[in-house]
């Protein structure tokens, strides 16, 4: 099987492209390939991308339904859940949800959404699909490692999924799995086998992430086609590249944390345990620090939220420019702000720990660094707005989701300025204000970026178009649903409602807002149900959608120069060379409102800028 990517993309010259077409077609199409190699153990980046996408969609469905379950509990704490008994079995006791299982639900919802959907599903899908296509490579640097990356993810998925069904329940100490709760089965039953499976699954997940990231980085650095300098890369690639760098540097630290926790749980060490009296016994562990675990966890955990949001930023930049028919405003500032965010994301983790007993001086350093990250984020927002300004906007579904992304990113990002300030975090820490904040900025916004990407690149993935009208309905329902769910959560958070509470009725100070909690639950379940419109559209369109043309959005980037029926190796002939940046939309002097990257300046004398003249000659 041929899996070495073509390292010299311009081997067959442009003039003799006709001859290699036939040869290449025979070589790359593999018509008689067994389905097992073609669809399952495939090394083709496009198939792997689809594998990540479908698995991610499966996980999103699971994670979303878990949230619907606990929203039922929060909206109607007095209501009977007896009707869920066929599904949840012994977790329903006398018509009530078991409080420990409630914690398991929120834990698994968080774990699944952050890691399995928004990291693997988002980055895995689009980095895999777009990196070779947009930089002009025949495949990833190592197709084999890429395949391993997916199958490690699959294995980790199977383990995590199976933990949902074991008798003692899945991990239940929050997605941040703070010890000692996560270390001691005496403390909560989810910290038994459920937590073991969580840790094993996470370790495999990290392996998958590292295999993927190393591949993305080396592919972007080494396999760019002729002329594709780093400053001609689409912003999608920049964001995937930096995301991979963040992943490579931060996931190993989570691995260390996981490993040390495994030691504490199974081999009697005391990295995170000290002075504990539980279940009628004093434990012998001494000298460990639970705060150390938090440092290790958030050293990944904070870059992780940027790992989630940066690919969405890249996708949105690309989609906004294409459908506004305008160059992205401030291309270099966009790269600069991505670099700034990447750098700063490593030195802000302490803002999750202001009130954990961490030295207050350290806290004040993290205040400064955290609020600094607002600057590149603001720059990005203004640049997106400037991209829309005086554009000629086509509201494709991808464009709608991109505009929705900007709106949600702003709405959720701004409250980060409150939470990043230690003084204000004293009151807001672990309240619903935090929940509202990160669900808007990294939950909903990243999800919207993912939807934008799916709607935009679906024609390239499956050769057919998604139904636009269903897309509109999906967008408006989801957009309204996201705001209706998360805006009221701010109110509840300002009122001090703590997160991870099974019910608030025990406290006088939290006895209000049961109406608002019900409202949130209705909105959240509505938004979840709206996703079935998308699911139907997705699977229906794969087989029955309108056939796509080669470049349906009239876009500039290289993937749109490939044929609709995309074979292994991506381009049947030579890989096109690149001459210009990817954002020559509506360039003055040009008849068409877009000039693809592979069109040389010599062919567009009328539209060349003065500084482009030398390149034209």
Partner 1 sequence: MIVLGIIVVGLLLVVLGLLFRLQILTAIFSGDSTRDIGPANRANAVLMLVFLVVGGGAFAWSFRRSYARMDVPVASVHGLAVDRMFWITMSIIGVAFVLTQVMLFWYAYKYQHRESRRAYFFSHNNKLEIVWTLIPAIVMAALVFAGWKEWGRITGPAPKDAVVLEVMGKQFNWLVRYPGRDLKLGVVNYRLIDAVNEWGFDLSDKAALDDFTAGEIHVPKGVPVLLKIRSRDVLHAVYLPQFRLQMYAVPGMPTRFWFTPNTTTEEMRAKLGNPKFNYELACNQVCGSGHFAMKMTVVVDEPDDYVAWFAQQQSFSSLNPEVRAGLPRPQPLAATPAAR
- Among residues 356, 463, 518, 542, the one that binds partner 1 under rule CB under 8 A: 356
> Which one, 229 or 284, has the nearer CB to partner 1?
284
Burial class (CB in 10 A: 0-12, 13-18, 19+), 21: middle
- Among residues 26, 395, 547, 602, the one that binds partner 1 under rule CB under 8 A: 395
* CB of 239 vs partner 1, minimal distance in Å: 19
What is the distance between the alpha carbons of residues 108 and 90, in angstroms, rounded to a whole number?
Answer: 18
What does the angle CA 422 – CA 423 – CA 424 come to, to the nearest 5 degrees?
A: 90
7 makes contact with partner 1 (CB under 8 A) = no
332 makes contact with partner 1 (CB under 8 A) = yes
- Answer whether 435's CB lies under 8 Å from 516's CB: no
Query: Which tokens belong to 407?
Result: 């709106």
Fill in the per-residue mask, 35 to 74: x = in contact with partner 1 (CB under 8 A), - = not in contact: ----------------------------------------
Residue 329: closest CA among 389, 239, 241, 243: 389
Q: Under rule CB under 8 A, which residues in 97-126 are in contact with partner 1?
A: 98-100, 103
Over its C-alpha atoms, the chain yields an Rg (Å, rounded) of 25
386 makes contact with partner 1 (CB under 8 A) = yes
> Which one, 3 or 503, has the nearer CB to partner 1?
503
150 makes contact with partner 1 (CB under 8 A) = no
- Among residues 87, 230, 278, 343, the one that binds partner 1 under rule CB under 8 A: 278
* CB of 94 vs partner 1, minimal distance in Å: 15
- Among residues 364, 602, 603, 613, the one that binds partner 1 under rule CB under 8 A: 364
289 makes contact with partner 1 (CB under 8 A) = yes
245 makes contact with partner 1 (CB under 8 A) = no
DSSP 8-class letter at 576? P
- Among residues 284, 610, 614, 617, the one that binds partner 1 under rule CB under 8 A: 284
378 makes contact with partner 1 (CB under 8 A) = yes
DSSP 8-class letter at 167? T
Pick the stretch among 125-133, 186-194, 245-253, 311-319 that binds partner 1 (CB under 8 A).
Answer: 186-194
- Among residues 218, 381, 514, 518, the one that binds partner 1 under rule CB under 8 A: 381
Q: How many residues does the chain have?
A: 617
User: What is the per-residue DSSP string for 454-507?
Assistant: HHHHHHHHHSBPPPHHHHHHHHHHHHHHHHHHHHHHHHHHHTTPBSS-S--TT-
Q: Under rule CB under 8 A, which residues in 565-584 are in contact with partner 1?
A: 583
372 makes contact with partner 1 (CB under 8 A) = yes
275 makes contact with partner 1 (CB under 8 A) = yes
- Among residues 46, 71, 265, 460, the one that binds partner 1 under rule CB under 8 A: 265
Give the rounded distance of the alpha carbon of 590 from its chain centre. Answer: 37
Residues ≥6 apart with Cβ < 8 Å to 56: 116, 117, 120, 121, 122, 124, 125
Burial code of 441-471, b = ≥16 C-beta within 10 A, e = fewer?
Answer: bbbbbbbbbbbbbbbbbbbbbbbbbbbbebb
- Among residues 69, 324, 466, 525, the one that binds partner 1 under rule CB under 8 A: 324
- Answer whether 573's CB lies under 8 Å from 598's CB: no
DSSP 8-class letter at 114? I
Q: Under rule CB under 8 A, which residues in 504-563 are in contact with partner 1?
A: 504, 506-510, 512-513, 516, 546
What does the angle CA 225 – CA 226 – CA 231 come to, to the nearest 5 degrees?
A: 80
- Answer whether 424's CB lies under 8 Å from 394's CB: no
Pick the stretch among 118-126, 128-136, 301-309, 395-403 that binds partner 1 (CB under 8 A).
Answer: 395-403
Give the rounded distance of the alpha carbon of 46 from its chain centre. Answer: 18
- Among residues 503, 526, 542, 616, the one that binds partner 1 under rule CB under 8 A: 503
267 makes contact with partner 1 (CB under 8 A) = yes
SS3 of residue 96 by DSSP: strand
- Among residues 21, 145, 256, 494, the one that binds partner 1 under rule CB under 8 A: 494
- Among residues 150, 349, 479, 560, the one that binds partner 1 under rule CB under 8 A: 479
Pick the stretch among 198-206, 230-238, 375-383, 521-529 that binds partner 1 (CB under 8 A).
Answer: 375-383
Pick the stretch among 152-160, 250-258, 280-288, 568-576 that binds partner 1 (CB under 8 A).
Answer: 280-288
200 makes contact with partner 1 (CB under 8 A) = no
> Which one, 24 or 177, has the nearer CB to partner 1?
177
87 makes contact with partner 1 (CB under 8 A) = no
* CB of 101 vs partner 1, minimal distance in Å: 9
Query: Which tokens belong to 570?
Result: 């991506």
What is the distance between the alpha carbons of residues 575 and 585, in angstroms, rounded to a whole number?
Answer: 23
Query: Which tokens belong to 579?
Result: 């001459």
- Among residues 117, 223, 403, 436, the one that binds partner 1 under rule CB under 8 A: 403
């Amino acid at each position: 099987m041929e899996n070495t990517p073509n390292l010299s993309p311009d081997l067959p010259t442009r003039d003799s492209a006709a001859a290699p077409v036939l040869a290449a077609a025979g070589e790359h199409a593999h018509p008689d390939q067994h389905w097992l190699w073609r669809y399952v153990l495939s090394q083709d980046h496009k198939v792997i991308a689809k594998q990540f996408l479908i698995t991610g969609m499966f996980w999103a469905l699971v994670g979303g339904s878990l949230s619907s379950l606990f929203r039922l509990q929060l909206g109607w704490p007095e209501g009977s859940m007896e009707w869920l008994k066929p599904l949840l079995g012994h977790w329903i006791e006398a018509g009530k949800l078991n409080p420990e299982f409630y914690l398991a639900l929120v834990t698994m919802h968080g774990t699944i959404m952050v890691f399995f959907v928004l990291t693997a599903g988002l980055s895995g899908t689009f980095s895999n699909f777009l990196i070779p296509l947009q930089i002009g490579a025949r495949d990833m640097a190592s197709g084999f490692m890429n395949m391993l990356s997916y199958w490690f993810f699959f294995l980790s998925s199977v383990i995590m999924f199976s933990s949902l069904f074991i008798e003692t329940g899945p991990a239940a100490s929050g997605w941040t799995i703070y010890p000692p709760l996560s270390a001691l089965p005496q403390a909560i039953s989810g910290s038994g086998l459920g937590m073991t499976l969580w840790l094993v699954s996470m370790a495999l997940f990290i392996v998958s992430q590292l295999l993927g990231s190393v591949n993305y980085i080396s592919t972007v650095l080494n396999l760019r086609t002729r002329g594709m300098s780093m400053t001609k890369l689409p912003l999608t690639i920049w964001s995937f590249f930096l995301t991979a760098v963040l992943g490579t540097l931060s996931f190993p630290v989570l691995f260390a944390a996981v490993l040390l926790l495994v030691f504490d749980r199974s081999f009697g060490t005391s990295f995170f345990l000290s002075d504990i009296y539980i279940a009628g016994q004093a434990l012998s562990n001494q000298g460990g620090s639970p705060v150390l675990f938090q440092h290790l966890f958030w050293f990944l955990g904070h870059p992780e939220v940027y790992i989630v949001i940066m690919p969405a930023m890249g996708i949105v930049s690309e989609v906004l420019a294409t459908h506004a028919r305008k160059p992205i405003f401030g291309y270099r500032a966009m790269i600069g702000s991505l670099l700034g965010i990447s750098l700063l994301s490593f030195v802000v983790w302490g803002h999750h720990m202001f009130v954990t007993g961490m030295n207050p001086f350290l806290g004040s350093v993290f205040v400064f660094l955290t609020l600094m990250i607002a600057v590149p984020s603001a720059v990005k927002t203004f640049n997106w707005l400037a991209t829309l300004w005086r554009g000629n906007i086509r509201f494709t579904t991808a464009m709608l989701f991109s505009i929705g992304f900007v709106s949600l990113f702003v709405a959720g990002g701004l409250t980060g300025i409150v939470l990043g300030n230690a003084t204000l975090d004293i009151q807001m820490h672990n309240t619903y204000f935090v929940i509202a904040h990160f669900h808007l900025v990294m939950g909903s916004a990243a999800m919207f970026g993912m939807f934008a990407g799916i709607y935009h690149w679906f024609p390239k993935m499956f050769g057919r178009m998604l139904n636009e009208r269903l897309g509109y309905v999906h967008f408006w329902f989801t957009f309204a649903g996201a705001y209706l769910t998360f805006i009221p959560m701010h109110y509840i958070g300002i009122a001090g409602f703590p997160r991870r509470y099974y019910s608030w009725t025990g406290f006088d100070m939290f006895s209000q807002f049961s109406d608002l909690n019900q409202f949130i639950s209705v909105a959240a379940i509505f938004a979840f149900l709206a996703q079935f419109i998308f699911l139907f559209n997705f699977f229906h369109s794969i087989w029955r959608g309108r056939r796509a043309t080669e470049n349906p959005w009239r876009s500039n980037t290289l993937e749109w120069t490939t044929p609709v029926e995309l074979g292994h190796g991506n381009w049947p002939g030579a890989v096109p060379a690149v001459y210009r940046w990817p954002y020559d939309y509506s360039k003055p002097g040009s008849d068409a409102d877009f000039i693809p990257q592979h069109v040389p300046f010599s062919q567009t004398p009328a539209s060349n800028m003065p500084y482009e003249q030398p390149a034209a000659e």
